Structure 1
Amino acid sequence: MKVFGFAGWSGSGKTTLIEQLLPQLVAYGLRVSLIKHTHHDFDLDQPGKDSWRHRQAGASEVLLSGGQRWALLHELREFPPPTLQELVSKLSPCDLVLVEGFKLEPIPKLEIHRVSLGKPLLHPNDPNIVAVATDSRITISLPLFDLNQAETIAAFIYSQVQP
């Protein structure tokens, strides 16, 4: 499975861009999965529901299954968070894994940059950034894309990950 990441400061538009890219990449015939890193505590379960109660009682994993989807909830408890490689190995086989976050991982990445955020570019300090998408005019030595041109960005990503 090929892995391609997105890096950028909070509020730069990573999630919005990925949402626009997914249908474009799928149209190329790729089966695409996504791993999103979050610094926030989150829970897909609802307090009081059976599966929540089972996790609270000590279950290491609870698998929820329904007619439209399934989800595996894994409690880390005293264990460290898994690495990106460990998370990728848990996915079903696909052609491409998009990664949002994990900005220090040594994977090819597109930097999403908005000058209006007042934050510096990441790419001068990250050799794994292979291109930049922005909503402003900047001068860099990497391929540069208009943040609002998802079709062009998708074509670039496809060229980077095709077999």
Structure 2
Amino acid sequence: MKIFGLVGRSGSGKTTLMVALLPALIRRGLTVSTVKHAHHGFDLDRPGKDSFRHREAGAGEVMLVAGDRWALMHEIRDGVEPPLEELIARLAPVDLVLIEGFHTHAHPTIEIHRPSEGHDLMWRENSDIVAVASDQPLIGVGVPVLDLDDVEAIADFVCRRVGLAG
């Protein structure tokens, strides 16, 4: 499976681009899955629900299954967050896995950058950031600068970069 990432500062629009990019890639006939890194703990469960009680009682994994989807929750407990490669290996095969976050992992990424937010670029020479998508023109960036609002051009760039026809 090919992997490609979106990185950027909090509030830059990573998720907004992700949800616009997914249909553009799927229209090209690609199968796509996503992995999103959450910087803070999260819970898909609610206290009192059976699955929550299973985890609370010590289950290492709990699978929820319904007619239209299933989800597997794995408790890390005192362990460490698994490497991205291990997480991707758990996914069903697809053409492309889009990664949101995981900016320290070595895979090609587009940085989402909004100068109006006042943050410096994450891009540095020899980083894994292969393009910057911005809502304003940028000067002096050593990688292509893409128009953040041109989702089709970004989808074209991703497909070319990972070697997928689309």
TM-score by length of 2: 0.95
2:29 aligns with 29
Alignment: residue pair count: 163
One-letter amino acid matched to 1:101: G
Amino acid at match of 1:156: F
Matched residue, 1:81: 81
* Matched residue SS, 1:123: coil
Q: Distance in 1 between matches of 2:86 and 2:110?
A: 22
Structure 2 alignment gaps of length 5 or more: none
1:99 aligns to 2:137 (yes or no):
no
The structural deviation recorded for 1:162 is: 2.7
Would the alpha carbon gap of residues 125 and 118 (structure 1) be closer, same or farther in structure 2, given more than 3 Å must change? farther
The aligned residue for residue 131 of structure 1 is: 131
User: Structure 1 residue runs of 4+, over 4 Å off?
Assistant: none
Residue identity over aligned pairs, in percent, reads 53
Q: CA deviation at 1:126?
A: 5.6
Paired residue secondary structure (1:124):
coil
Q: CA RMSD in A?
A: 1.0
Aligned equivalent of 1:15: 15
Q: Aligned ranges for residues 111-122 of structure 1 at < 5 Å?
A: 111-122=111-122
Instruction: Quote how far apart the aligned CAs of 1:141 are.
Output: 2.5
TM-score by length of 1: 0.97
* Structure 1 alignment gaps of length 5 or more: none
Alpha-carbon distance between aligned partners in 2 of 1:114 and 1:130, rounded to the nearest angstrom: 17
Structure 1 residue 28, shift from structure 2 partner: 1.2
